[in-house]
Chain A
Amino acid sequence: MKERHPIDDLFREGLYNSEAVPPAEVWERVVAQRSWGHRLLAGLQRRWAISLFALLLVGTPLAWYGVRSDAAPVAATSASTPAATPEERSTSLAAKQGDEDLGPNAGAQTLPDSLQESNVVHAAEHTQGADGIPAPNASSVPKQRSNVGPHSSTSDQDNVAIAGAGVNSRKTEEPELLTYERSGDKEPGAGSVDEAAKTVTATSASIRPVAEVDALTAPSGSGKLVGSGTDDYFDMEFLLAHPHRIEYPRRLDSMLVNDRPVEAPYVLPNGAWWLGVQFGWNEWNGGWTGASPLVDELNQAEEWQSGWQAGVVGGRTWKSGFSVSLGLEVANARSRFLFNGAGNNDSDTGAYEFVLDTTWQVNAVAPDSSYVVYTYSFDLVAVPIGERGVRYSASNRYTLLNIPLEIAWQKNVKRFTFAPRLSLNAGLFIGRNGTTLENGSNVDTGPTTIPANDPRADDRFGMLLSGSAGMDLGYAITERIQLFAGPGYSTVLTSFGDNALRPSINGFTVRGRLVYEFGMMQRKARP
């Protein structure tokens, strides 16, 4: 039901069929908006927005999760060394079977299985907190953190001791030599622990020995893991002050079971070399810059368009996440050159046109006479034909050899990598096709054009030093192969060519990169 009102009818009658003349430019804008190029650009902009949004949507939580996962380095290490468990188990099994291949100190490894089990169970029971959660020091080996003498281990515990001889893994210098001793069913003082000890070394602190966690014991089995990375330790003051608070690193319970790694069979190298291919697409803006009077006319004539780039890149990524790479690329930049030459009528082209020149003259018959004579004269005049408006149109293509030096920081979260990057790029023009202006309208001879690869234009195309920033999202296809993709923005920082006239192009870039990583986890060398 429509409840009409006189006011409604008044306005409907007055306005429904009213007309107003829109500006003519509206139609031009409608046509432009419906053009193929505009739709493509709009589509690209939409894709840009979608990709950026997706990148932020995916990357931010992953990065956040990655930062949080740093709080549990041991768990992360155990997760990143999936092959360690079977290796460790096989080693343990071999040790249990008295495998002589383990070396002369194998006796220290050949703990009776039941003894190991009972020790751990006992330790776990001994160190359970009030909430029943086993404390991280479940193996409960009270020993000094750094000064573990040969006879200092297992003095008040039953059997298993993992002592750190000269251990100071709180230091973060890498590579760090960690030495562990494992003493078996030796009675305290019954023999030299050195003889029975199996010494292993690890070159990385990223796989932290459990001894580090075991190094201190809380009286009540409660504790707090403080810090992150290699700085984890138990704060005794905190333990005593807050016996009810227990904060465990994630999956710490995996350390408390019997098959905890006595020695780290794998270590992460400090860094890994990689080699990759990369490709990109650029949407260029900008133009020419400098003090030359030709700048304005050249900018009006030349409209920069899209380009592409492809090449190889190699680099190294460190454990800290930082990555440095150097590459070699071939890049292509396109522009449309459209110039309406005003022409120069004074120039001698060798051609003439004949113009009929007519003149009316009124002359007095005599100086003081009022009588006049009208004369109509006509003449045929030869006029030289000068250069008239010429329209130059060309599709310019510039080819560059790029040497990008890039620094990036990578945060790996499972198979994904989130990598903001900064790079410097040296670009050398190795090819130029098309047309450019040699002179503008300001010179007497008028504007003249020359081929873009004319030597007279060489000075303009010096080396370009550009900078770019971007953000990549990577995905590990396999353990060694990663695919990165992401947006960036590039701009020319300086040019080493003619300062008066040099290209200054900038624009957005979408880049993809396929990387093969050479260095992975390495098997630790046995002593």
Chain B
Amino acid sequence: MRELTDQELVQGCLREDKKCQEALYSRYARRMYAVCLRYARHALEAQDVLQDGWVRVFDKLHMFRGEGSLEGWIRRTMVHTAISNYRKKSFQQERFGLEHLPEEPVAATAIDGLGHAELLKLVDQLPEGYKMVFNLFAIEGYDHAEIAEMIGCGESTSRSQLAKARRFLQLRISERHVKIHEGETSDR
């Protein structure tokens, strides 16, 4: 049986065709869940965001004009849902006193072997404010002006949070590298 194209799925969903809706969900749910996991504090919250995001996708699908990729549109919807959830939870912009952390380049060997799970874990360790900005800038590709508008902060705040997130991640990666290196040394 021929797999339906995105455009056909969209048309079917607009007709409230349950099968098309389920097919669309099946096609992109896993990727979107990964997006949600990056923004949420834990898996249950990610599932809530995913649920709300898909409800919003189906409700607003008539607004998709087909000018870009459907996946990109769904991803943006998910990101906006995650931001709404972030605002609803009214997380404080945690300040962990990371200003003192040195910004030193991470050794190339330190980032070797970092898998998806480890990267996700590292992102998850970021304080909420840093995580939001880092996700939006580094991974989703939004610029600071867009981020500032989306999460309702100043551009300078976005830059500052991004810098702190990078330092935090560099520190964690360096620590991991040192641990691995020490492990290798002790093995010898």
User: B126-160 toward A: CB 8 Å interface, digit per residue (1/0)?
Assistant: 00000000100111110100000000000000000
User: A1-30 toward B: CB 8 Å interface, digit per residue (1/0)?
Assistant: 110011111111011111111110011011
Which listed segment binds A: B1-9, B29-37, B62-70, B83-91?
A: B29-37
- Among B58, B119, B139, the residue within 8 A (CB) of A34 is B58
Q: Is B125 an interface residue (CB 8 A)?
A: no
A29 touches B120 (CB 8 A): no
- Bound complex: CA A23 to CA B29 (Å): 10
Among B33-54, those with CB < 8 Å from A are: 33-34, 37-38, 47, 50-51, 54
Q: How far is the CB of B43 from chain A (nearest CB, A)?
A: 9
- Among B25, B51, B123, the residue within 8 A (CB) of A15 is B123
Q: Is A33 an interface residue (CB 8 A)?
A: yes
Q: Is B106 an interface residue (CB 8 A)?
A: yes
A30 touches B111 (CB 8 A): no
B119 touches A8 (CB 8 A): no
- Among A1, A2, A11, A33, the residue within 8 A (CB) of B51 is A33
- Bound complex: CA A10 to CA B55 (Å): 32
Q: How far is the CB of B46 from chain A (nearest CB, A)?
A: 8
B114 touches A22 (CB 8 A): no
Q: List the A side residues contacting B50 at CB < 8 Å.
A: 22, 26
- Among A6, A9, A19, the residue within 8 A (CB) of B30 is A19
- Bound complex: CA A21 to CA B26 (Å): 10
B106 touches A21 (CB 8 A): no
Q: List the B side residues contacting A8 at CB < 8 Å.
A: 137-139, 166
Please report the total number of B residues contacting A with Cβ < 8 Å.
38
Among B6-34, those with CB < 8 Å from A are: 18, 22, 25, 29-31, 33-34
State the main secondary structure of chain A at its contact with B: helix
Q: How far is the CB of B122 from chain A (nearest CB, A)?
A: 8
- Bound complex: CA A8 to CA B166 (Å): 8
Q: List the A side residues contacting B169 at CB < 8 Å.
A: 7, 11
Q: List the B side residues contacting A20 at CB < 8 Å.
A: 30, 33-34, 37
* Given known A23-B47, A30-B51, contact A14–B116 (CB-CB < 8 A): yes
A30 touches B54 (CB 8 A): yes
* Given known A20-B30, A22-B47, contact A15–B106 (CB-CB < 8 A): no
- Bound complex: CA A162 to CA B137 (Å): 84
Q: Is B81 an interface residue (CB 8 A)?
A: no
Q: List the A side residues contacting B161 at CB < 8 Å.
A: none
- Bound complex: CA A11 to CA B59 (Å): 31
A27 touches B116 (CB 8 A): no
Q: How far is the CB of A25 from chain B (nearest CB, A)?
A: 8
- Bound complex: CA A5 to CA B162 (Å): 10
Chain A: CB-nearest residue to B163: A5
B139 touches A16 (CB 8 A): yes
- Bound complex: CA A244 to CA B147 (Å): 62
B22 touches A11 (CB 8 A): no
B138 touches A7 (CB 8 A): yes
A2 touches B55 (CB 8 A): no
B55 touches A15 (CB 8 A): no
- Among A2, A5, A23, A30, the residue within 8 A (CB) of B25 is A30
A10 touches B120 (CB 8 A): no
- Among A6, A16, A18, A26, the residue within 8 A (CB) of B47 is A26
Q: How far is the CB of B11 from chain A (nearest CB, A)?
A: 18
B139 touches A26 (CB 8 A): no
Q: How far is the CB of A7 from chain B (nearest CB, A)?
A: 5
- Among B33, B105, B106, the residue within 8 A (CB) of A19 is B33
- Bound complex: CA A37 to CA B123 (Å): 39
Q: How far is the CB of A393 from chain B (nearest CB, A)?
A: 23
Q: List the A side residues contacting B33 at CB < 8 Å.
A: 19-22, 26
A12 touches B139 (CB 8 A): yes
User: A316-328 toward B: CB 8 Å interface, digit per residue (1/0)?
Assistant: 0000000000000
Binding site for B on A (CB under 8 A): 1-2, 5-12, 14-23, 26-27, 29-31, 33-34
